[in-house]
Amino acid sequence: MVYVLSVNGKPLMPTNNAKARILLKQKKAKVITVRPFTIQLLYETTTYTQSIILGIDSGYLNIGFSAVTEKKELISGEVKLLQGMKERLYERSMYRKIRRQRLRYRKPRWSNRIKSKKQGWLAPSIQHKLDSHIRFIDSIYKILPVTKTIVEIANFDIQKIKNPDINGAEYQQGDMLGFWNIREYVLYRGGHKCQNPNCKNKDKNPILEVHHLNYRSNGATERPEDLITLCTKCHTSPNHKGFLKDWKPKLKNFKDATFMSIVRWYLVNILKEKYNNVSFTYGYITKNHRINNKIEKSHYNDAFCIAKGINQIRIKPVKIEQVRRNNRSLEKFYDAKYIDKRTSEKVSAGDLNCGRRTRNKNKNGERLKNFRGQKVSDGQRRIRAGKYFYQPNDLVRYEGKIFTVRGTQNGGKYIALKEIKKVPKVELLTPYKFNKGFVYGLC
């Protein structure tokens, strides 16, 4: 499928590869984008279009999309949204606080820092995902003359997800009823004992700490389900990969449900302001349509059902990944690697640490450093001196074909490509397209 724009840049009905090849060969059209392949006509033509319904399966991690006419599907696929926005914002805030603490003394100036949040304000991480939905839908409108858009929305009752039998006043009576804070509840839940079954702490009154079962980067929260009681000797980094890794019960993340409950009307109202004939539907309607027509469950199939697709000729779906426009990290650290004498396996130096956590040696953990065997690789601090011309996901031409950049090697002298193992020199490549934002995968 080749998408077509008029001489004025307005979207027309797509055409087939053969016709597009003839137009390009006769210099009657030019290529606008490669993925998805879009051409623009260089002559005046009729602007007749058919009725096209765009179905959007919105979500926290993925966006399913499908545009259909009465007879066939014009575009279909799913978008993998960028993750880790909250962690990057938290890291930026941390570095800013440290930098400001090292400035010269000045009097506090809080009067110009207090700003009331405007109505409709969203957290930056949620606002980013909402903006990503809008930008992607805009990109569909740029290549197809969409006449109607249907968005699936949902409102989730998280307390009912956790407890299906909850009712009435029980919504106000959570597990922490009667406790001062989360820490007190977690200690009480654990019986004021260390939850490590192999705890070797022999203190009569061990110091207990509330520990996160997972890292923040992997979705850890302050919910009691994400916390556990450990003593100071068991609160060590190696235990993250030990008994804590398979700790029961398995945690359920409600980020996607919370996101949809917050932004569902934001998304619909913004689209209604920008485009005509925008409506919404619900998940149970989509599920019923999919089951009745025996359609397999997937994000793009859900979008096909949202667009009321039934017997249309389907198109091969595309996979799209959202990538960062710029990585501002100038330094990366790689830990040293050693052979563990106990298992003869290669592990990082952090896993075989000295066990020291406090100045009181009696409170420190086991000295795992003694089990370091042969050193496999040194620890490294790699500092980026400058930005290279080619970045990951850029398209380049090499030996008459188009390839995707995976990364650079040897200070930017060689370019690694995703499709082949050969690593050519940078002089042998010519730029074709610099890909940032939404990157289309191969169909």
CA distance 352 to 269: 54
What pLDDT, on a 0 to 100 scale, did the predictor assign at position 363? 64
Q: How far is CA 128 from CA 132, 144, 311, 316, 350, in A?
A: 6, 25, 36, 29, 34
CA distance 417 to 402: 10
Lowest mean per-residue pLDDT among 115-124, 285-294, 428-437: 115-124
What pLDDT, on a 0 to 100 scale, did the predictor assign at position 407? 86
What pLDDT, on a 0 to 100 scale, did the predictor assign at position 218? 66
Indicate if the pLDDT at residue 222 is higher than 90. Answer: no
53-82+123-156+256-323 architecture in CATH? 2-Layer Sandwich (3.30)
Task: Give 293's DSSP letter.
Answer: T
Q: Which residues of 223-240 are buried (b: 16+ CB within 10 A; e: fewer)?
A: ebebbbbbbbbbbbebbe
3-class secondary structure, 111: coil
Q: What does the pLDDT look like over 401-410, one tens digit per residue?
A: 889 898 888 8
Q: What does the pLDDT look like over 405-440, one tens digit per residue?
A: 988 888 889 999 988 988 999 999 998 888 777 777
Segments making up each domain of the chain, as ranges: 3-41, 53-82+123-156+256-323, 171-240, 331-383, 395-434
Indicate if the pLDDT at residue 155 is higher than 90. Answer: no
Task: Give 292's DSSP letter.
Answer: H
Strand partners, 440: 320
User: Residue 241 burial by CB count (10 A; 0-12/13-18/19+): exposed, middle or buried?
Assistant: exposed
What pLDDT, on a 0 to 100 scale, did the predictor assign at position 443? 40
What are the two backbone dihedrals, phi and then psi, of residue 284, each rounded to the nearest 5 degrees? Answer: -70, -30
What pLDDT, on a 0 to 100 scale, did the predictor assign at position 441? 65
Residues 351-367 have a mean pLDDT of: 73
Indicate if the pLDDT at residue 114 is higher than 60. Answer: no
Residues 63-74 have a mean pLDDT of: 95
Indicate if the pLDDT at residue 310 is higher than 60. Answer: yes
Q: How far is CA 343 from CA 170, 234, 311, 340, in A?
A: 50, 21, 58, 6
Structure tokens at 379: 């620890």
Residues 237-265 have a mean pLDDT of: 73
Residues 101-126 have a mean pLDDT of: 70
Q: What is the pTM of this model?
A: 0.77
Most confident stretch, 13-17, 170-174, 180-184: 13-17
Residues 298-319 have a mean pLDDT of: 93
Owner of token pair 């009435």: 168
Q: Bigger pLDDT: 126 or 200?
A: 126
Angle between helices 85-101 and 124-143 (to 10 degrees): 130
Residues 360-369 have a mean pLDDT of: 73
CA distance 323 to 438: 6
Indicate if the pLDDT at residue 75 is higher than 90. Answer: yes
Q: Bigger pLDDT: 99 or 40?
A: 40
Q: What is the mean pLDDT of the chain?
A: 85
**CB neighbours of residue 12 within 10 Å:** 19
Those residues whose C-beta lies under 8 Å from the C-beta of residue 185, and which sit 6 or more positions away, are 175, 176, 179, 224
3-class secondary structure, 278: strand
Residues 42-61 have a mean pLDDT of: 93
CA distance 286 to 64: 13
